[in-house]
Structure 1
């Protein structure tokens, strides 16, 4: 069994520069349970290595003199089933770091697959929170696809550079679930995999920098995406806390914990070397194969005990379906192989005991094993290595780099039980090899995988991003606003405001009566001249604000002055010549008339019989590194605008300028081009018309009302539904 080839230390860049000014960093990690102490690692699939990573990253960055502050943003949870700690809006983490908890959706603890419908609300709440802080962050760093979805929205609204860490990726997961024989419908139903992959495509395309833990992630996982661009990806391996994880030095007893007392009851001979596995009870962690490998190897049973630490449990029957299935298999295998007294599945351990568990295993001259089907990185491998334990680990993913750098273990095929058993026997039988692996691990983890080294390399990368010109949205407001206007109505025109003359007359009268306390705005795909013509023709009240050309232009009454700061903001990475050349090659797209085009909007007639699907069009644009928003309206009009432009983003820009909370803005629409205006914390209204199916996805979204009446009468119905003028 050969050692993996040596490599550079994870490809980590050498930090030769530091920020010119201390940086303010916003980290976003939404799902799971995040707090500063007593992390509930392994509680469920959402509370694993990523939880620990973001907390340790925030602490490490806060120690740097080149960091002014770190905000780790997560979701606020108020649920009797979890600790009250997760309901606290703010939690100090270090001298310059804190955890910030943002509301999104119901207060209950939700698994990450059920959070998608609430992420727009999370983004709006977080955007509002940022505006109310004394200083803006210099960079946004999102973790996992759900935070990436939010990060993309924030980057487009604020102009802040976006950094992303995937931790694991949907396309890779989808590939592996298919290989396990799961039906497509079950994958979609259980994992919401399409929404996750779409979000990942957007964040990889939008991000200025993608940070990975291993070269394998870049070459084997990110390569699966349409917008794969290795030039903006960098490997910075996570660190490990060397204050917690270290070899036993005599300063604290290895013996004497409740965990150890439990093992002494469970094992016939607790002094034998310990084969230790530590992970959450997840089928992908493949610990059942490890138990079977041990059960089928009498030589291994004679050499060592097996201890599998897989979260905490009181009664297997009370666990969620996934963990329950894992423990059921483990307990059946224990009984089948008659491993009582040789193997242990401890029911409880605290996070404070984990460093002790590693040192206990090392004191018996044991081995740490990670048999996962794939391991994106492997923080437990670093913790075990720092504690002096040799490793046996899966050959799929991060362990390849870790063992190559640390020279402290063997890689195995996680599905080959004989190979797992033989690797363990090889290390356990050779005292010299065990000692060499143990010594190498301790030395090289300190050299390659400390949090301070990680923070230094990380800040070197961030410094290059923040030196770029700041967004015009970072400047102070150019409008003071009328403080009597405490709410606003924004509506689309075609098939929303128009379509019922009598209903429009009633709505117009109501708006005129309420003008003193309420802004009135129109958001449309039409150009300014076309909108003004319609306003005169239909005797619509003159709006205070016009959002035209699908959110690419903002005008203020009475002289229709354009907002130049908005134009500068959306011009970011807009390459119209490249876009036109790319679209020219696609069948089924015919440019609309010149009067429908503008500087920041290109409009086409869309023939669904001959043109690529909307998803295919987006994929083609990503492959060309084009950052563009694509909108299909009324089933036949396809519009392309800069990635920072849309009706919804323009509306939020205006809300910020006029200091009007989003939950006091009624936004109405009737076609696909209105979707992002209605999502999030606005009071959304979908009027009844023949194109409302384009917005059917919003039916289960909070703050969206599906009116029974059409056109202007649907808006009147919604005003009554929300009791809008009495808010």
Structure 2
């Protein structure tokens, strides 16, 4: 790979800035935020990378720092953070971000269009970013990589095992949406990055679109420079002062952990393990750093519950004088907590029920601390490589206490493990090693030649400053003649561009347009996104789009998969297309889009299913669809979504109208559209057909050049139920 790479990383939830990360502030601002930030910084320093950007959400909220409202933050060496506005401007927890992700896609494409930038790769982190990243990659026609970090199917199973009923799980966590986004991301990804083999074998394998050949195990990196030298004297003294407030004898070995106050982290198990071990109570101190807190009342409900239980346990076990639980710390103090514990020949403990990553274990090893860690996920690989500690069953408090005692009670053994860890973590987990492995794997999925960075020539499209996207009107012959003439007149001056997006084939669509004397479109999308043609008299087919839409498409396989499916039959040949399989669902047969999608996945096929009017079933390539085609056109031709009016009538319009386009839904549209929640850029018309079309235009004052603002602020408290939504493939 001789060319210099331009890479985008997407990480949407939590709070991310270049310095002083607020790790542990809430469940969303944890190890993933730090990992992605440091990966971006490390990539930027590599000679094979020219530019790398971390794309995240822009937040305007008095409850958080103004840093998160900055549109751009320079990280140096060709790296930066780009923050995109999407929906409400407030800071939201990840479970309620889903309804704003389509707007995030449009905002990202608008930014890339302004910069005339087409990256070589898009890499998304977590399910929400996967939903965004795979669609942006599809529009641009570039490879897509995915890292799940933690997976919805795994979380749902563990919650069920813990006794939580499925209805409560769905209401609180919206896991059905998250799992579907993960399935779609796995389906579209050329490369899936994982930290350990356990993730591949026990977690990703739970998914329908799990594909062994796309999995890449790349051990995570850690910024070891923070643990070199003597550290920050002022920060160390601050840590020491914090400890002296709690501990009778701060010189004793420290049993140390740092983690979010989350039930999955099992901090209460560590307190019980320490408090019920007589030797540890007499000869060691317990130090718990569980994020910052002012008062319990101000904590999110989950963290408040954990801290309430922790403080109760400390009191019940009478650990006063041997247990430190500092309320506040700065980011520069984090390395000094490790150094403080290492100076006292202590041990670092990760007692989590599940640990897919294990960043704190790497930091502890770099700081000369032996490890006691959960026998799950990342810790297995880390301890196998670093040879610096013991794996334990996180459910066995006594085993945790015994393992800690075994290390701390033998200073020579403790020092040997500490030395092993400090040496091996630099061998296996430095950022240089991580980036080298990452770029090596990346070279296997990148095309030999970079994609052209030049946008298409606008030619005859340059006259149109306003655009209308709609399907062919279903009942044009029955419309009032004056409305039909008014509709045609809109496009006669050439200042309004028409984009017809239909499920008909190209030849069928042209026949209907000519027969009914419809406006001649500037752009015609046919086959539900299978083809794009520009112009009318001498149409030009977009061959780049056509090639990209074929990615992983196996039409014969789709036909075979549904050949004997109960209640499904093929539509007539004229409804078929090489990039679309059209089927008909028999009346009275109950069948969901999800069940058909699952059937394809079980057959090992990458495709997406759409159902229109409850009976028309269309199967498309994974990188096709009306929505992706429209966004591709906006990107290629430099069209501002705020100047695009989309009128929805069919169920397959749903994904198109949920973004930043000025969208309206006809009163007689498919029920799936009428169920969509109205918001500033999604209007429900009271009239059907062309009457509704003009009602929507008037609602937006479309030709007054004053588009409505982005979606108004919505805020859901930590205790509020998550609004249920659906996502389309």
Question: For the superposition of Structure 1 and Structure 2, which TM-score range results when normalised by the shorter chain?
Answer: over 0.9
Q: Tell me which of 555, 559, 566 is aligned to 1:576.
A: 555
Change in 2 beyond 3 A, CA 1:173/1:23 = same
* CA offset digits 1:54-80 (Å, max 9, x no partner): 111011111111111111111111111
Partner of 2:717: none
User: What displacement does 1:148 show?
Assistant: 0.5
User: What displacement does 1:543 show?
Assistant: 2.6
User: Which residues of 2 match residues 281-300 of structure 1 at below 5 A?
Assistant: 281-300=261-280
Partner of 1:160: 142
Q: Tell me which of 65, 81, 91 is aligned to 1:83.
A: 65
Partner of 1:11: none
Find the aligned partners of 2:368 and 2:678 in 1 and give their Cα distance.
Answer: 52
Aligned to 1:641, what secondary structure does the other structure show? Answer: strand
User: What displacement does 1:347 show?
Assistant: 0.5
Find the aligned partners of 1:328 and 1:500 in 2 and give their Cα distance.
Answer: 66
Find the aligned partners of 1:86 and 1:498 in 2 and give their Cα distance.
Answer: 53
Q: Tell me which of 588, 594, 605 is aligned to 2:573.
A: 594
Find the aligned partners of 2:675 and 2:388 in 1 and give their Cα distance.
Answer: 51
User: What displacement does 1:616 show?
Assistant: 2.1
Q: Tell me which of 222, 227, 251 is aligned to 2:209.
A: 227
Partner of 2:132: 150
User: Which residues of 2 match residues 535-550 of structure 1 at below 5 A?
Assistant: 535-550=513-528
Find the aligned partners of 1:469 and 1:408 in 2 and give their Cα distance.
Answer: 45
Change in 2 beyond 3 A, CA 1:692/1:499 = farther
* CA offset digits 1:187-222 (Å, max 9, x no partner): 112111111000000001110000101111001100
* CA offset digits 1:330-365 (Å, max 9, x no partner): 111111111111111100111101111101101111
Contact 1:391–1:409 under 8 Å retained in 2: yes
User: What displacement does 1:610 show?
Assistant: 4.9
Q: Tell me which of 471, 490, 496 is aligned to 1:518.
A: 496
Q: Tell me which of 680, 694, 697 is aligned to 1:719.
A: 697
Find the aligned partners of 2:595 and 2:155 in 1 and give their Cα distance.
Answer: 21
Find the aligned partners of 1:475 and 1:233 in 2 and give their Cα distance.
Answer: 32
Q: Tell me which of 308, 312, 325 is aligned to 1:332.
A: 312
1:387 aligns with 2:367: yes
Change in 2 beyond 3 A, CA 1:108/1:181 = same
User: What displacement does 1:245 show?
Assistant: 2.0
Contact 2:236–2:337 under 8 Å retained in 1: no
Partner of 1:4: none
Q: Tell me which of 649, 658, 680 is aligned to 1:670.
A: 649
Change in 2 beyond 3 A, CA 1:590/1:344 = same
Q: Which runs of 5+ in 1 are unaligned?
A: 1-18
User: Which residues of 2 match residues 423-502 of structure 1 at below 5 A?
Assistant: 423-468=403-448, 476-493=455-472, 495=474, 500-502=479-481
Change in 2 beyond 3 A, CA 1:203/1:255 = closer
Partner of 2:123: 141
Deviates more, 1:92-101 or 1:496-505: 496-505
Change in 2 beyond 3 A, CA 1:470/1:591 = farther
* CA offset digits 1:618-654 (Å, max 9, x no partner): 1222233422232111111111122222112222233
Q: Which runs of 5+ in 2 are unaligned?
A: 706-729
Change in 2 beyond 3 A, CA 1:457/1:116 = same
Find the aligned partners of 1:298 and 1:415 in 2 and give their Cα distance.
Answer: 20
* CA offset digits 1:37-62 (Å, max 9, x no partner): 00000000010000100111011111
User: What displacement does 1:607 show?
Assistant: 2.7
User: Which residues of 2 match residues 347-426 of structure 1 at below 5 A?
Assistant: 347-426=327-406
Aligned to 1:257, what secondary structure does the other structure show? Answer: helix
Find the aligned partners of 1:496 and 1:682 in 2 and give their Cα distance.
Answer: 24
User: What displacement does 1:392 show?
Assistant: 0.7
Partner of 1:6: none
Contact 2:476–2:484 under 8 Å retained in 1: no
* CA offset digits 1:12-54 (Å, max 9, x no partner): xxxxxxx311111111111111111000000000100001001
Q: Tell me which of 170, 182, 187 is aligned to 2:164.
A: 182
* CA offset digits 1:66-118 (Å, max 9, x no partner): 11111111111111111111111111112121111111111111111111111
Change in 2 beyond 3 A, CA 1:411/1:506 = same
Normalised TM-score (structure 2): 0.93
User: What displacement does 1:317 show?
Assistant: 1.1
Contact 1:254–1:356 under 8 Å retained in 2: no
Find the aligned partners of 1:220 and 1:496 in 2 and give their Cα distance.
Answer: 53
Aligned to 1:569, what secondary structure does the other structure show? Answer: helix
Q: Tell me which of 140, 161, 176 is aligned to 1:194.
A: 176
- How many correspondences in the alignment? 704
Partner of 1:630: 609
Partner of 2:677: 699
User: What displacement does 1:528 show?
Assistant: 3.1
* CA offset digits 1:123-171 (Å, max 9, x no partner): 1111122223254211111111111001110121111001111111110
1:309 aligns with 2:272: no
Q: Tell me which of 103, 120, 124 is aligned to 2:106.
A: 124
User: What displacement does 1:706 show?
Assistant: 1.3
User: What displacement does 1:507 show?
Assistant: 4.5
1:558 aligns with 2:525: no
Find the aligned partners of 1:169 and 1:143 in 2 and give their Cα distance.
Answer: 11
Change in 2 beyond 3 A, CA 1:559/1:255 = closer
Find the aligned partners of 2:148 and 2:431 in 1 and give their Cα distance.
Answer: 19
User: What displacement does 1:506 show?
Assistant: 5.7
Contact 2:349–2:373 under 8 Å retained in 1: yes
Normalised TM-score (structure 1): 0.93
Find the aligned partners of 1:235 and 1:174 in 2 and give their Cα distance.
Answer: 24
Change in 2 beyond 3 A, CA 1:120/1:251 = closer
Q: Tell me which of 48, 51, 58 is aligned to 1:69.
A: 51
* CA offset digits 1:656-691 (Å, max 9, x no partner): 3432211211111122211122121111111111x5
Change in 2 beyond 3 A, CA 1:96/1:79 = same
Find the aligned partners of 1:212 and 1:476 in 2 and give their Cα distance.
Answer: 34
Find the aligned partners of 1:697 and 1:344 in 2 and give their Cα distance.
Answer: 52
Change in 2 beyond 3 A, CA 1:492/1:569 = same
Change in 2 beyond 3 A, CA 1:567/1:305 = same
User: What displacement does 1:609 show?
Assistant: 4.9
Find the aligned partners of 1:340 and 1:659 in 2 and give their Cα distance.
Answer: 65
Contact 1:382–1:445 under 8 Å retained in 2: yes
Find the aligned partners of 2:278 and 2:478 in 1 and give their Cα distance.
Answer: 80
1:617 aligns with 2:599: no
Find the aligned partners of 1:376 and 1:692 in 2 and give their Cα distance.
Answer: 42
1:49 aligns with 2:31: yes
Find the aligned partners of 1:68 and 1:660 in 2 and give their Cα distance.
Answer: 28
Partner of 2:718: none
